[in-house]
Chains A and B, each alone.
Chain A
């Protein structure tokens, strides 16, 4: 693996760390299997890239992307809470709808960002290479968001959201308006995914309609890898774990694709992703079986 691809893996890993934090909120905290992510990630990319190419400054564009993601997530939550559509189906509906919406926003299948300013070029100091500076900017951003989430989950509102996912009947009996908490959580989750999409588009030179395919699987993989290497119940550790999981996961992928003797190519990315996630999901089961056998002896 080359020096460049190592930094590149860190950069993309950190961006997907944001997706992992979003997936943590929907899948783990709210227990809402949310596939909206596959639409809100490109929604963020499309919104940011289009606004930047129209001449808006990259920071406002990135913020707008996050707001768009939050709205998308809240629509999914609303479909489930108010219209009583099954959670998974509600998110699939939103994901499908976002495909068209993203095409509408861009007006074409992709919007390149070649010479336009991005959050990375604006923050780029003289004399430091961009492939080193981008991961540093991302690291600061992702950690700032992690600490903000840690703070949120230590508040009354955050605790109410955790209770909503854990036992919604009990939460209601304690006076928590659970519907509102689901909407808020889905909004935050998809805002993070759209922010990731916006940063991805700016770091990779543009937004593309197909950039969202498999985002949810990568996010879930990051959460699972993170949970298995740093198992903990403390929120501050869990949020760190999923970010580490996202970066590690990206390294595995880069390693697999770069190892010439395996013969994998870039187009095998999603297959490799699926296989790695399957392995990560099966490991706990295998461990359990192994323990069961030992116990029997």
Chain B
């Protein structure tokens, strides 16, 4: 279970370009729940994800995973519990390394990396087996540089890597945004499968309202660094994109009205 309490993050504090990215955001995600996160640009979606992964230090608040406070832990320490797939296919893999070397890196995620062999035959067999489930023929290309793969293929491998080691939390940062529609659908289906098989507590940031409602079990909308909508279950099933769009505009409209009051 992931629990974020009263998160505050301010960029460029004390300067004219000060941005309050998160303003006391709180969010609890029970174990095994798949949450989609939407919101306009600057709503704080990516900031929230980076705060949970540890990439961004938080000014105030606490983040705990399964009841343990991980707030002071750097990224590499949190990696024991948190797996991540980036928006940019280039960011989630080492393009100079081969497919098997990349997977071997993920295979030891969160473990001490000593002088044992990085890759052995048992691992190769497992990698092959996992890659075969993608149906992309990658199981025969273990020794190929991962930089030779297409963006979609790299995202698919990134997802496999995220699930190689048992982890608690899976963070997906618009991981289909850089892909063409068909490939995006393929990666999305794979995501659903992997999340289900491994019962991962998942947070997926997306720009697509369709995606936000179709995938997962709960949808959270962020606005100005706070949760403004949180729907799950029957209420969510009744929602369609126009409803969501309507709520979205309502929230933004209210925000505009606030600004209007301030200005007058």
Which residue numbers of A lie inside 8 Å of B, CB to CB?
152, 154-160, 162-163, 166-167, 169-178, 233
Whether A176 contacts B53 in the complex (CB less than 8 A), given A167-B91, A170-B91, comes out as no
A170 to B157, CA, bound (A): 13
A152 to B115, CA, bound (A): 7
The listed residue with most A CB atoms (<10 A of its CB), out of B53, B77, B105, is: B105
Give the chain B neighbours of A177 by CB distance below 8 A. 74, 76-77
Whether A155 contacts B97 in the complex (CB less than 8 A), given A169-B91, A173-B84, A175-B111, comes out as no
A141 to B168, CA, bound (A): 48
Give the chain B neighbours of A170 by CB distance below 8 A. 86, 91-94, 105
Find out whether the CB atom of A174 lies under 8 angstroms from the CB atom of B105. Answer: yes
Find out whether the CB atom of B75 lies under 8 angstroms from the CB atom of A160. Answer: no
B47–chain A nearest beta-carbon distance, Å: 16
Cβ-neighbour of B76 out of A159, A172, A233 (below 8 A): A172
A172 to B83, CA, bound (A): 11
Give the chain A neighbours of B74 by CB distance below 8 A. 172, 177
A88–chain B nearest beta-carbon distance, Å: 21
Kindly state whether residue B104 has any CB partner on chain A within 8 Å: yes
Whether A167 contacts B95 in the complex (CB less than 8 A), given A156-B114, A159-B118, A174-B109, comes out as yes
B88-117, CB < 8 A from A: 90-98, 101, 104-106, 108-111, 113-117
Nearest-neighbor residue (CB-CB) of B115 within chain A: A155
Whether A166 contacts B114 in the complex (CB less than 8 A), given A159-B104, A172-B79, A177-B76, comes out as no
The 5 A-B pairs at the shortest CB distance, nearest first, are namely: A175-B79, A156-B113, A159-B118, A166-B94, A172-B75
A169 to B77, CA, bound (A): 13
A154 to B75, CA, bound (A): 25
Which residue numbers of B lie inside 8 Å of A, CB to CB?
53, 55, 74-77, 79-80, 83-84, 86, 90-98, 101, 104-106, 108-111, 113-119, 145, 161
A163 to B105, CA, bound (A): 8
Give the chain A neighbours of B118 by CB distance below 8 A. 154-156, 158-159
The majority secondary structure among interface residues of chain B is: loop
Nearest-neighbor residue (CB-CB) of B145 within chain A: A233
Give the chain A neighbours of B90 by CB distance below 8 A. 167
A158 to B106, CA, bound (A): 14
A16–chain B nearest beta-carbon distance, Å: 25
Give the chain B neighbours of A172 by CB distance below 8 A. 74-76, 79
Find out whether the CB atom of A156 lies under 8 angstroms from the CB atom of B108. Answer: yes
Whether A162 contacts B97 in the complex (CB less than 8 A), given A172-B79, A178-B76, comes out as yes
Can you give 13 contacting A-B residue pairs, CB < 8 Å?
Answer: A154-B119, A155-B113, A157-B113, A157-B114, A159-B104, A162-B101, A163-B105, A167-B95, A171-B76, A175-B110, A176-B105, A178-B76, A233-B96
Find out whether the CB atom of B117 lies under 8 angstroms from the CB atom of A166. Answer: no
Find out whether the CB atom of B76 lies under 8 angstroms from the CB atom of A176. Answer: yes
B75–chain A nearest beta-carbon distance, Å: 4
Find out whether the CB atom of B113 lies under 8 angstroms from the CB atom of A166. Answer: no
Give the chain B neighbours of A158 by CB distance below 8 A. 118
Whether A159 contacts B115 in the complex (CB less than 8 A), given A167-B94, A170-B92, A173-B84, comes out as no
A203 to B200, CA, bound (A): 61
A146–chain B nearest beta-carbon distance, Å: 17
A175 to B54, CA, bound (A): 11
B117–chain A nearest beta-carbon distance, Å: 6
Find out whether the CB atom of B76 lies under 8 angstroms from the CB atom of A163. Answer: no
Given A167-B90, A175-B77, 7 more pairs with CB closer than 8 A = A155-B118, A174-B76, A174-B109, A175-B110, A176-B113, A177-B74, A178-B76
Cβ-neighbour of A159 out of B84, B93, B105 (below 8 A): B105
A162 to B145, CA, bound (A): 14
Find out whether the CB atom of A160 lies under 8 angstroms from the CB atom of B113. Answer: yes
Give the chain B neighbours of A167 by CB distance below 8 A. 90-91, 93-95
A33 to B222, CA, bound (A): 42
Nearest-neighbor residue (CB-CB) of A233 within chain B: B145
Nearest-neighbor residue (CB-CB) of B108 within chain A: A156
